[in-house]
Structure formats: structure tokens, C-alpha cells
Structure 1
Amino acid sequence: MPPLFTSARRALAAALTVTAVLAPAAACHGTGANRSDDPATAVSPAPASPTVTDGGPPRGPGGRVICTPEMLRFHAGALPHRARRMLLTVTNYANRPCDFAAPHHVLLSFGEGRRPAVPVIGRSRPGSVATLAPNGTAYALITTGTGGSGRKVSQFGVALAAHTVPTQVGLDDRTPARVDPHTARVTYWQPSRAAALRW
């Protein structure tokens, strides 16, 4: 065979060998780059846990979660055997414990507008800040007034901290109660029903 044809055949064989080697590598870096088992995807870092800056719950001193209305459910009703008394309960339906923000007592308001919060009974302050575990409940006693005057209400506002929008809480039985906003009082959040009923 002439030398010219021998050299051409050798060059063609070498080119085919290079193509066979490069083809699998090209396939691995082509459409397969978007597969879920691609090494670059498999080792991607997990999303960071929520923080205050990216929408996480507010934090108080020591990094403890502060209770927000979205975490809680309120109930209120008159006490049948206690004149001019109502019991307010709040239950934590979140999956984490939370603390009440300062001033750690119910910011209660009757009526509409910017009426001041009902004064708190100072002597009812518990020894420690009430912490609500998941499904835990805290209590507050409301004295509706010292006399027979006042007006009937079927709901009232409860705020968890100063300068926040109150949550409207309706009475459980929907029966209006007579309240005198000028003489009504409320306790601090109490850890038990028995502690609240002392007042």
C-alpha cells in the first residue's frame, strides 16, 4: 500500500479514538448537569433557619420567643358565682414556647377609639414571667367595675404589648356583660386558673 494512504488511515484512526474518548465526557457535562444526582446539586447547603430579619418570630431578652397573636387563642367569659368578674384565658397553639412581652400583663381596652388600657392590679404580679409551653394556658381575671353603672359589652380588645393592635376577644356565650371602663381592673397573666381566681 502506498505510504500516503497508510498515513491517512492512521490519522483517521487517531481522530476516531479521540472522538470516542471525548463523547462520554461531553454527555456528562451536557443535559445531565441538571439531574438531581449531579454532585453540585447533591451537596447544596440547606436553607438557613428563620431569624428575626427574615420573618422569624420576635425575640426577647436571652433570645426567648415573644408571644404573638398568631400563636395564641383567647377565650373570655363571666364567672357565674362571682359578681362583676370575668376570666380571660390564652392558649399557645404554636409548636414552641413563648414569653409575654413587657409589661407582662393584659393590656385590656373596652370600646372603640384610643381609650387607655384598663389599669392592672399591681399586687397580682406573679413571682416570674409567665411562659407558655406548646398547648399551655395562662389566665387573667377581669373586674368589670365597682358599681351597677357602665354599659354592656360582648367583646373587648386585648393587646400583648404597648403600641400594638389589640385582638378583639368575644365572650364565649355571646351574652353581653355590664362593664364600667373607669373602675374596671385586670390582673397580670397568671400561670394557673386558681391563681387568677384569687382576685
Structure 2
Amino acid sequence: MNEGYSDAFFNRMNENMVGGLLTSTVAQILSIDYARMCCEVLPLNDDEATPIDDVPFGFMQNADFLVRFPYKAGDLVFIGFCKDDIDPVFFGDENRDNAADELFQRKDAFVIGGAQKFIDPSTIPSTHDESFLICKKDFSSRIEIDVDGKVIIETDENIEMTTKKDFKVSAQNITLEGATVTANGEDLTTDLV
């Protein structure tokens, strides 16, 4: 066999195989089903792409806790494609016979996380670059743990804390400042001495 022909054949075969291998891409959320924690997405880098339904959110969770972002239609996200068929696990289908034959399928997409456009960067001040942040993009509300371990909760809105049990505050010093400070309807802004 001609060596040049052989190389071209295998190069073309390799390109076709890699081109058909779905790993991850950028997509836009079209709609969300919060009850089922999934969404419909449209991959953006393919002019012939069609929407993908029932795409689960990939978020931090275990048996007892979860951290969920309030995605909305129009959000830009990264989606990945599981190597194996996810239906038997997510839909409770015990028939796994076909799972091994279906690798990197469009229907096995999941949302990895949100994506930031470089042409529209967030407005978080650079002084917080080393902090762990949970915040609004306009920085009007934030929970921050800075590099020294200081915890900061700041917002332009009300802060509400409610518990059906006791609420305990313990510190070396406690300072309350406000136009009015009340406890059980009693005004605490007067001198308590």
C-alpha cells in the first residue's frame, strides 16, 4: 500500500473520530426546570446545533447539602458530555445493556458551570482577588472570607436571620450600632448603665 495514501487515510479517520467525540462546549440556557434541577441548552459553536433537553445541573452537593446557583434562561454555561450513558443512574433505569455502546452522546450532557465572557467582565473589585466570595456581580451583596480568615457579610438590603432554636452570639466584644436598636420591643439605644 502506498505510504502517503495510508497516512492520509489514518489522519482522516482520526479527524473524523475526534470530531465526533463530544467532551465539552459552550451553550446558552433556553429554559429551566427547577423542580427537576435540569435545563434545556443550545450549544453555541455549531450552526446546525439543536437544543438538548433534560440537561442536569452539575453543582456541589452530597446526601445532606447543596450549593445551587439560580441559573436563568439566557445564561452562558459550559456543558460537558459524560462518557457513559447517564440515563440508568439519573432516571433509575436498571437496564444498562445499551449504556456501554453509547459513549459521549449529546443526551448525556450536564451543566459544568457558568461562563464569563471576556468582553463583559464582572465588576468585582480586584482588592478581593484572594478572597472566597459569594456575591452578586454588582457587588451590592456579599459573603466573603478574606485571605486572613475575616468573615464579612455586607449588603445594600436587609439581612434576615431566623431560627426555631436558640440564637447565640459569643465574642470578646460586641458592638451594636444603628439609628434604633430594639430587643423584644424595648429600645436599647439609651444608656443601659
- TM-score normalised by the chain length of structure 2: 0.24
- TM-score normalised by the chain length of structure 1: 0.23
**Of the two structures, which has the highest relative contact order with CA contacts closer than 8 Å and spacing of 6 or more?**
1
Q: Which has the higher strand share?
A: 2
Q: Which has the higher helix share?
A: 1
